[in-house]
């Protein structure tokens, strides 16, 4: 089953495009979405030095039916927004692809990570094309057990295998993070970051492929 990451360019006439491009340094983190035939209700988190002008801009949009401030503390605000234009979400519904949250919107672009069948992923691409919504596929990874290494970038594989060969995962440990970084001639912080991302990708893949399967069989 493919796991894909898409970068989708939001149509210019949607409120979230206007707001996110007006405030390009602000990330809008969408934590939940409830789509309907002519409405979309979403809960999103906005973090900015002063979120008040952003809230005023959202409330002033014609396609925003209702804006409710759920919570605010310092530079972070949690909002519930009801909009009358579901055109960005419609291709997902038409293709039958479940929407995974949270996802982020920044400067007119939304990033979606999806886990679905190859047929539905293809149908989503066709629906986006028919809707005139531009997008890029950042990656498509197979979660087949025989292709687990596709979860990692070449750099992550290099660092991870170097750590294994050096004895970083042995008990007792035969190499430190500093040793691995020295072998690769990179900084310790870079080594730690790349290794952490590789470990996280492997852990999530294992949990999705095996832990969930075992749990459902019990």
Distance CA 199, CA 177 (A): 14
**What stretches of the chain adopt beta strand conformation (E)?**
2-9, 28-35, 40-47, 64-73, 76-83, 103-106, 109-115, 135-142
Q: What pLDDT score was predicted for residue 66?
A: 95
pTM over 0.95: no
Distance CA 89, CA 105 (A): 13
Distance CA 200, CA 111 (A): 19
The answer on pLDDT for 143 being more than 70 is no
Domain boundaries, given as residue ranges, for the chain: 2-142, 145-217
Mean residue pLDDT of the chain comes to 87
Tokens representing 202 are: 């492997």
Sheet containing strand 64-73, edge to edge, reads 64-73, 76-83, 40-47, 28-35, 103-106, 109-115, 2-9, 135-142
- pLDDT tens digit string along 159-210? 999 999 999 999 889 999 999 999 999 999 999 989 998 898 888 777 776 6
Query: Comparing 2-6, 65-69, 102-106, 157-161, which segment has the lowest mean pLDDT?
Result: 2-6
**Half-sphere exposure of 179 toward its Cβ, with a 13 Å CA cutoff?**
12
Q: What pLDDT score was predicted for residue 192?
A: 93
């Amino acid at each position: 089953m493919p796991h894909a990451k898409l970068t989708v360019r939001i149509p210019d006439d949607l409120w979230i495009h206007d707001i996110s491009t007006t405030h390009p340094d602000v990330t809008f983190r969408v934590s939940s979405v409830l789509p309907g035939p002519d409405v979309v209700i979403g809960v999103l988190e906005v973090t900015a030095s002063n979120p008040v002008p952003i809230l005023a801009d959202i409330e002033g949009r014609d396609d925003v039916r209702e804006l409710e401030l759920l919570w605010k503390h310092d530079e972070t605000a949690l909002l519930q927004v009801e909009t009358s234009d579901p055109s960005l979400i419609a291709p997902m519904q038409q293709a039958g692809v479940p929407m995974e949250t949270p996802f982020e919107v920044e400067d007119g672009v939304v990033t979606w990570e999806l886990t679905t069948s190859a047929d539905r992923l293809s149908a989503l691409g066709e629906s986006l094309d028919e809707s005139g919504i531009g997008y890029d596929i950042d990656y498509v990874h197979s979660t087949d057990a025989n292709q687990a290494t596709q979860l990692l970038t070449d750099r992550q594989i290099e660092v991870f295998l170097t750590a294994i060969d050096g004895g970083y995962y042995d008990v007792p440990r035969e190499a430190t993070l500093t040793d691995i970084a020295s072998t690769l001639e990179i900084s310790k912080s870079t080594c730690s970051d790349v290794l952490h991302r590789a470990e996280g990708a492997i852990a999530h893949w294992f949990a999705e492929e095996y832990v969930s399967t075992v749990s459902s069989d019990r």
